[in-house]
């Protein structure tokens, strides 16, 4: 019983200490209120620092649940020895607060300047959940499960995304649209056949129905570039390969995928395979070889891996793959032996390092 009483006493002391800190203006928790606390608030307002829950409470001098320039000024006056006034009676410092270190909170900033961006659309597209950032670039979403794609979009900016992995707090950086980039797609796409093992990578995250097993987009070149272009994929989940199993992205048995010679997502440029994606991830870059590009229209294609459960990966360029392209390939195999790997990806962007080859699209 004495141990239990001692525990409650300790908890009471800790809670009282936290409350005292929250009301003190001691943002950095060093026991003093000085220029160091003001510096943390400046960094927060500038979008370069995230603050924990108790720090936000300590910095909220006027008790309105937000950290603003007013809180900064009040704390500065206090440090300077001037009367600062107290928080409005009866107002809770937690009301309307956004905890940026929680798994479902974060901030969106301009990549070049680091300044917070207001009104950005932040979403979990698979869940059809969308919010917008506040005046300080902050957002809060209802519970964010690990393995989901978190997307951010804003007018005149290149979209950005990240795969949630249980990290605490997000800082998403958006790049302004410029002659170097062309956005091909800013939506979430599910490729496959809606037939996947519950242990597959992304199986618990998939909500949107598959849009088919092959995805294509075109982009136009006003002239041939002097160097390779680049395809960037914002985020990619769901790949089931030996590599993804080894990396902990998929819980399928490695031996089974090895026996099936499971392949990855094929990437094509104007009909030629230029890469195979074996792991999920964020901000994936794929070179678009200059010699395969042509003036005018060019086509990018992503293809889900087609696996014959009898142990053969059916490559699109193989005899069976070409027959399947004509609608005849399945005649040689049992329907139960075929399976497409289900994947999801978002945000396709073409990058032209020179900024001179891509044809500009009307906004």
Q: Are strands 296-303 and 265-269 parallel, antiparallel or unpaired?
A: antiparallel
Question: Percentage of the chain with pLDDT > 90?
Answer: 32
Q: Is residue 95 included in any domain, yes or no?
A: no
Tens digit of each residue's pLDDT (9 = 90 or more) over 307-325: 655 444 555 555 555 555 4
Q: Is residue 135 included in any domain, yes or no?
A: yes
CATH number (domain holding residue 24): 1.10.1330.10
Amino acid 177: pLDDT:
94
Residues 186 and 333 in one domain: yes
Q: Is residue 88 included in any domain, yes or no?
A: no
Q: Is residue 159 included in any domain, yes or no?
A: yes
Amino acid 9: pLDDT:
31
Residues 172 and 159 in one domain: yes
Residues 223 and 258 in one domain: yes
Q: Is residue 268 included in any domain, yes or no?
A: yes
Choose one of 27, 49, 79: the last residue of a domain: 79
Residues 241 and 204 in one domain: yes
Amino acid 171: pLDDT:
87
Residues 192 and 326 in one domain: yes
pLDDT-derived band at 360 (thresholds 50, 70, 90) equals low
Residues 171 and 298 in one domain: no
Residues 47 and 60 in one domain: yes
Higher-pLDDT residue of 197 and 276 is: 276
Amino acid 338: pLDDT:
63
Highest-confidence segment of 5-14, 87-96, 233-242: 233-242
- Calpha distance 61→52 (Å, rounded): 16
Residues 335 and 197 in one domain: yes
Mean of the pLDDT values across residues 159-176? Answer: 87
CA distances 237 to 164, 274, 336, Å, are: 11, 20, 25
Tens digit of each residue's pLDDT (9 = 90 or more) over 280-311: 999 999 999 999 999 999 999 999 887 655 44
Residues 198 and 72 in one domain: no
Residues 218 and 310 in one domain: yes
Q: Is residue 342 included in any domain, yes or no?
A: yes
Question: Percentage of the chain with pLDDT > 70?
Answer: 68
Mean of the pLDDT values across residues 207-217? Answer: 85
pLDDT-derived band at 181 (thresholds 50, 70, 90) equals very high
Among 87-96, 116-125, 220-229, 342-351, the minimum mean pLDDT is found in 87-96
pLDDT-derived band at 25 (thresholds 50, 70, 90) equals confident
Mean of the pLDDT values across residues 174-198? Answer: 87
- Domain count for the chain: 3
Residues 274 and 338 in one domain: yes
| pLDDT surpassing 50 at residue 21 | no
Q: What is the mean pLDDT of the chain?
A: 75
Among 71-85, 171-185, 191-205, 223-237, the minimum mean pLDDT is found in 71-85
CATH number (domain holding residue 106): 2.60.40.1120
Amino acid 330: pLDDT:
45
Residues 184 and 173 in one domain: no
Residue 125's domain comprises 101-177
pLDDT-derived band at 208 (thresholds 50, 70, 90) equals confident
Tens digit of each residue's pLDDT (9 = 90 or more) over 44-96: 887 777 788 788 888 887 777 778 877 787 777 666 653 333 333 333 333 33
| pLDDT surpassing 90 at residue 17 | no
CA distances 148 to 185, 235, 236, Å, are: 19, 10, 10
Choose one of 48, 79, 110: the last residue of a domain: 79
- Calpha distance 108→120 (Å, rounded): 7
Q: Is residue 90 included in any domain, yes or no?
A: no
């Amino acid at each position: 019983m004495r141990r239990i009483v001692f525990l409650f006493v300790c908890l009471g002391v800790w809670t009282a200490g936290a409350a005292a800190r929250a009301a003190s203006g001691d943002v950095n928790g060093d026991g003093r209120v000085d220029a160091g606390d003001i510096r943390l608030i400046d960094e927060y307002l500038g979008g370069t620092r995230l603050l924990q829950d108790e720090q936000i409470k300590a910095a909220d001098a006027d008790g309105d649940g937000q950290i603003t320039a007013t809180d900064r000024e009040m704390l500065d006056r206090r440090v300077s020895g001037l009367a600062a006034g107290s928080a409005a009676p009866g107002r809770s410092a937690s009301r309307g607060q956004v905890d940026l270190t929680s798994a479902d909170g974060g901030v969106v900033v301009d990549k070049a300047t680091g300044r917070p961006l207001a009104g950005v659309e932040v979403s979990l597209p698979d869940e059809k959940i969308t919010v917008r950032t506040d005046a300080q670039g902050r957002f809060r979403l209802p519970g964010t499960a690990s393995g989901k794609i978190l997307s951010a979009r804003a007018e005149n900016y290149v979209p950005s995304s990240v795969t949630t992995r249980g990290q605490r707090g997000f800082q998403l950086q958006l790049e302004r649209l410029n002659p170097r980039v062309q956005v091909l797609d800013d939506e979430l796409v599910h490729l496959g056949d809606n037939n996947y093992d519950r242990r597959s990578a992304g199986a618990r995250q998939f909500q949107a129905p598959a849009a088919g097993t092959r995805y294509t987009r075109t982009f136009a070149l006003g002239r041939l570039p002097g160097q390779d272009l680049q395809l960037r994929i914002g985020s990619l989940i769901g790949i089931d390969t030996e590599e993804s199993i080894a990396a902990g992205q998929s819980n399928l048995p490695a031996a089974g995928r090895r026996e099936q010679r499971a392949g990855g997502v094929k990437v094509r440029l104007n009909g030629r395979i230029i890469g195979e994606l074996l792991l999920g991830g964020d901000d994936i870059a794929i070179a678009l070889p200059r010699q395969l590009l042509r003036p005018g229209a060019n086509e990018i294609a992503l293809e889900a891996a087609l696996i014959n459960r009898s142990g053969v990966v059916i490559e699109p360029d193989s005899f069976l793959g070409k027959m399947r392209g004509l609608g005849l390939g399945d005649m040689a195999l049992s329907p139960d032996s075929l399976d497409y790997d289900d994947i999801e990806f978002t945000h396709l962007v073409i990058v032209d390092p020179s900024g001179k080859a891509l044809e500009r699209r009307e906004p």
